[in-house]
């Protein structure tokens, strides 16, 4: 997971790690994910933007915290 705005740094770090054969590097960038592949090394990195960063970028309110713990019976009819 990476923070919103850190996508360029993640791509740059991958390219730096494969300096000298960047012609074999493929980068695909989506809105919330980055896929980096080096065909020469068979090195693959997939980065996903943190959900909280996504919510902030979209202006969404945070998800409500769950008060129930797993394994507890559910109240209801």
- Kindly state whether residue 25 falls inside one of the protein's structural domains: yes
Assigned domain for 77 exists: no
Residue 22 lies in a domain: yes
Please state, as a whole number, how many other Cβ atoms lie within 10 Å of the Cβ of residue 47. Answer: 19
Q: Quote the strand ranges of 12-51, DSSP E.
A: 25-29, 33-38, 43-48
Q: Establish if 43 belongs to a structural domain.
A: yes
Structure-model confidence comparison of residues 77 and 9, the more confident one: 9
Structure tokens at 1: 């997971």
| Tens-place pLDDT, residues 42-72 | 999 999 877 777 777 777 776 666 565 556 6
- Domain span at 27: 7-58
* pTM of the predicted protein model: 0.64
Tens of pLDDT, residues 5-53:
788 899 999 999 999 999 999 999 887 889 999 999 999 999 987 777 7
What is the C-alpha to C-alpha distance for residues 75 and 53, in angstroms, rounded to an integer?
Answer: 33
- Let me know if residue 36 belongs to a domain: yes
Q: What domain count does the chain have?
A: 1
pLDDT score for 4: 74
* 13 within domain boundaries: yes
Looking at residue 30, the DSSP 8-state letter turns out to be: -
């Amino acid at each position: 997971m990476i923070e919103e705005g850190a996508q360029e740094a993640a791509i740059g770090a991958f390219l730096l790690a494969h300096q000298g054969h960047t012609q074999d590097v493929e980068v695909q960038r989506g809105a919330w994910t980055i896929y980096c592949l080096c065909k020469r090394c068979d090195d693959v990195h997939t980065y996903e933007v943190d959900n909280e960063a996504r919510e902030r970028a979209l202006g969404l309110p945070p998800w409500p915290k769950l008060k129930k713990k797993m394994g507890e019976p559910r109240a209801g009819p």
